[in-house]
Structure 1
Amino acid sequence: MWAWDFIFDRTTNGSTLKCLSIVDEYTRECLALKIDRSITSEDVLDTLAELFAIRGVPNHIRSDNGPEFIAK
């Protein structure tokens, strides 16, 4: 089972930083940590597709279903 979430932070000048963290809950290995000023749903899908190609598709992906996971 993988878990994913967004983490938000700010730089010293107030700019927002957004981090996408994907962790394998069994091994506790961080599979992806993408950090950028903006992360779109396409960026998330690209990151997942890359992980699927390298690691295979997990049985489950756990999410807190916060508002940051809403996309069109």
Structure 2
Amino acid sequence: MKLYRFLTGPDDASFCHKVTAAMNKGWHLFGSPTYAYDAEAKIMKCGQAVVKDVDGQEYEAGVTKLSDW
């Protein structure tokens, strides 16, 4: 199965650790990161899409928990 996640977080080390943890679990960066100002929270936020291929498994919407992979 092919999996897709979009990771988001504040522009700080916690976001970098989130992306690093995903890559260390076999996820790969997909496309360019995003960066936007959250006017309500008055902070910059980051986003990064990641993808992963998992052999021998089938994707089931509502059942497959992406963060488990």
Of Structure 1 and Structure 2, which has the larger fraction of its residues in strand?
Answer: 2
Larger RCO (CA within 8 A; separation ≥ 6): 2
The reply to whether TM is greater than 0.5 is no
| TM score, norm. by length of structure 1 | 0.34
Choose 1 or 2 for highest CA Rg: 2
